[in-house]
Structure 1
Amino acid sequence: MIADLWDAAARAELTKRYPLLHAPQRWAWGGMDAQFSGELPPEELVTNIHLVGFDAEGAIVLCRDARDHWFLPGGTRERDESVLDCVARELREEAGARILGAPVWIGAHRCVTDHPKPYRPWQPHPEKAWLWGWADVAIDSAPTNPDDGEAVVEVRAVRPTEAQRLLTQGREPWWGELVALAVQARAAGGRAVRSSIR
C-alpha cells in the first residue's frame, strides 16, 4: 500500500514552494499530459518508479547514459513486480547500488496518454502514474546494464546543487525542484512519514 507523506496543508505549501514541479506538463515523447502532486496514486496505477538516492555523505546518485544524459535511477515496473522490487532492480541495473532502508514516497506525476495502446500490455491505460521517492543507498558494484535498458556509462554521487544543475541541463527546470523536495523530505528525518508500502 502506498500512503501519503504530506497532509493537505503541506501539499498546498509545497505547490507554492515548487511551482515548476507542480505545473501541468506535456511529455511529448510519451504523448502524456502529466501533473505532479504529493497526493499519491493507487499502487495499481504506478508504472514507473524513480528514486533520489543519497549516499552516506548526503550526495545524490546520478547516472549518465551514452547520450551524455544525466538521470535519476528508476524505470518501468515489470509484470507483477512490486514497487519495492522495481526500485531494487532499477538501482542495481542503472547505478550498481542497493537500497539501505525503506523508500520515502514524496509524490507522483499522474499521467494521461493519448497513445492508443499502453507502453506495455499489462500496464494501466490511458491513466498511469510515475512515483518519486528518496532513500539512502550504497553504490557497491557496477551497473548491470541489461540489454533492454539504458546504457549507463557513468555513475556519480554529487552534492544536491550539482545534481540539480546536471539534471536540468537542456531539460525541464522542474527536475531541480524535484531534487529540492527530496532534500527537504530527507531533512525532515522521516518525522512526518505516515506511509508504508509492501
Structure 2
Amino acid sequence: MTDTTRRASDSTELAARYPALHAPQRWEWGGIDAQFSTEQPPDELVTNIHLVGFAEGRVVLCRDVRGHWFLPGGTREAAESIESCLQRELREEAGARLLSPPTWIGHHLAVSEGPTPYRPWQPHPVKAWLWGWADVLVDSAPTNPDDGEQVVEVRPVPPEEAQRLLAQYREPWWPELVALAVESRTG
C-alpha cells in the first residue's frame, strides 16, 4: 500500500486541520466505535474500502434510491485483495475504472459491539475501513448488484460541491475526508 503519512509529517497538525475526521466516531447504524488514522492498517483487518475518485479533477459521487450521496466503495469479499475489491466496487457503484494506482490516505479503526462479524470471513470485533483516492474514468453505468446499494445517479462534481452533498446525509467528517484527499492529490 502507498503510505501518504510522509505528506504531513505531524499527525497532530492533520488532526488540527481536520478535527471532525480525527474525532472518535460512533456509527450507530452498525454499533461501531471508530477512530481515524493516517497510518495504514494491517491488510487482514481491512473489511471495507472506499475511494475519493477524481474524474478530470472532479469528485465522483453516487446517489442511491433514498437520495443520499456517497463515495464508491464497500465490503471486501472472502479472500479478495484490496485492489480487486476496489475495482469491483467502482464498477458496481460508479461504473468507473481506475486510471491511476490508489493512494491510501488513512483508515478508520473500527470496533463492533455486535456478537458476530458482519460476514463470517471478516475479523471481529476489530476491523478497518480503508480510505484512498485515485484518478478514475466513469465509462459505463453502475452494475447495481442485488445485494448492494441501488445507485440511480453517478455525478462527477467539483470537490466543494462533493463536500456539500456529502454533508447533507452523512456525518460531519465526510467533507473533511474529501478535503484530505484533495490535499493529498495536489500535494
- TM-score by length of structure 1 reads 0.92
Aligned twin of 1:180: 179
Unaligned ranges ≥5, structure 2:
none
Aligned twin of 2:64: 65
Identical residues among aligned pairs (%): 70
CA contact (8 A) 2:103 2:134 kept: yes
- 1:119 counterpart SS class: coil
Aligned twin of 1:38: 38
Q: Aligned partners of 1:163 and 1:84: how far apart in 2?
A: 24
Aligned twin of 1:94: 93
Aligned twin of 2:13: 13
> Which amino acid is 1:81 matched to?
E
Q: Aligned partners of 1:170 and 1:38: how far apart in 2?
A: 24
- 2:169 counterpart SS class: coil
Kindly provide the CA deviation profile for residues 37-81 of structure 1, in whole angstroms up to 9, marking residues without a partner as x: 10111010000000000012x000000000001000000000000
CA contact (8 A) 2:4 2:104 kept: yes
Aligned twin of 1:193: none
- TM-score by length of structure 2 reads 0.97
CA contact (8 A) 1:11 1:39 kept: no
Unaligned ranges ≥5, structure 1:
189-198
Aligned twin of 1:191: none
Kindly provide the CA deviation profile for residues 65-111 of structure 1, in whole angstroms up to 9, marking residues without a partner as x: 00001000000000000000000000000000000111000000000
Q: Aligned partners of 2:83 and 2:127: how far apart in 1?
A: 18
- 1:128 counterpart SS class: strand
Kindly provide the CA deviation profile for residues 145-164 of structure 1, in whole angstroms up to 9, marking residues without a partner as x: 00110000000000000000
Aligned twin of 1:161: 160
Aligned runs of 1:130-145 on 2, under 5 Å? 130-145=129-144
CA contact (8 A) 1:112 1:128 kept: yes
RMSD: 1.0
How many pairs does the alignment contain?
186
